[in-house]
Copies of this chain bind each other. A is one copy, B any other.
Amino acid sequence: MHSVFIDELDAQTYAEHVARTGSTIIIPAGATEQHGPHMPLGVDAMLSRSIAEAVAQLTGALVAPALCYGYKSQPRSGGGNHRVGTTSLGGTSLSLMVEDVVASFISQGFDNVVLLNGHFENYQFLYEGVDNAVAKTRTAGSTARAILLSYWDFVDENTLAKVFPDGFLGWDIEHGGILETSLMLLLHPQLVDMDRVIDHPPAKLTAYDIFPEDPARTPDSGCLSSAKGATAERGQLLFETVTDQVAQALKGELLLGDINIEVN
């Protein structure tokens, strides 16, 4: 059994995968963005990469190198693009990069391309890139399909109730909060320092955006809610739900290859 990460695969092994009916590549999309004093800048790429890995093992897919730079962080979901540590792409460069990468995988022969997003602000620009890539390759004769998703959209009510026993307040304030911190405690515990978690009430987000950004709109911590209460166990609950649900969605929607062959 070999790695699911294509950057660790030789071209021959990779080519055999691509040639199979139902061949599927998952592209994790993250960001380089401050996540408070207790977590590293790479959280979004790390989480989407780990979730992609697990989904790949459940579905026989491969995992492409993560997109490590994302769209400008916004105060209403990520603290804002003015914060040191947040290194961003504009919308045009992000969409063009995605269009090129997706079209390149399709032209190599993949039947399915999955964009697995881990950075809230990316979604619409990923959509634009995937949409254009599929339209272009279809004009050139391809029949490949693509799927775009953000992993947190697969957390069910049941899991939410367990992870947030005091009530879930919305995904928008989860930047640097319990969701991401719990998953990091599970997957990259050595990169989390719970002693530096700051206990502050959830950020009161405005219903609008201001240009240029007003630094006063986000807490000093850079988090939109406190990560107090994050645990690896809660991370495990989230991780299992998400990977399971995403895998099921892919199996239901796409014609996938024979998994048993893939992972041995």
Mark A residues whose CB is within 8 Å of B.
5-12, 14-15, 18, 32, 34-42, 45-46, 64-66, 68-69, 71-72, 74, 83-97, 99-101, 104-105, 108-109, 121, 123-125, 127-128, 130-132, 134-135, 138-140, 145-149, 153-154, 191, 193, 196, 206-212, 222, 245, 249, 253
Contacts and interface: CB of A to CB of B under 8 A. Distances in A.
Copies assembled: 6
Nearest to A128: B91
Nearest to A99: B93
Query: Interface centre among A37, A139, A212, by most B CB within 10 Å?
Result: A212
B11 A222 contact: yes
A41 B121 contact: no
A233 B104 CA distance: 36
A5 B133 CA distance: 32
A212 B145 contact: yes
Contacts of A85: 6, 11, 14-15, 108
A-B residue pairs, 3 tightest by C-beta = A7-B42, A11-B34, A65-B68
Contact of A97 (B97, B130, B145): B97
16 contacts: A7-B40, A7-B68, A10-B36, A10-B38, A10-B41, A18-B84, A65-B68, A74-B127, A86-B108, A87-B101, A89-B101, A90-B96, A130-B211, A153-B207, A153-B208, A206-B249
Contacts of A207: 149, 153-154, 245, 249
A211 B196 CA distance: 39
A68 B68 contact: yes
A128 B208 contact: no
Given A35-B11, A93-B96, A124-B123, A210 B84 contact: no
Query: Interface centre among A34, A42, A65, A66, by most B CB within 10 Å?
Result: A65
A1 to B, nearest CB: 14
Nearest to A253: B210
Given A74-B127, A108-B85, A41 B93 contact: no
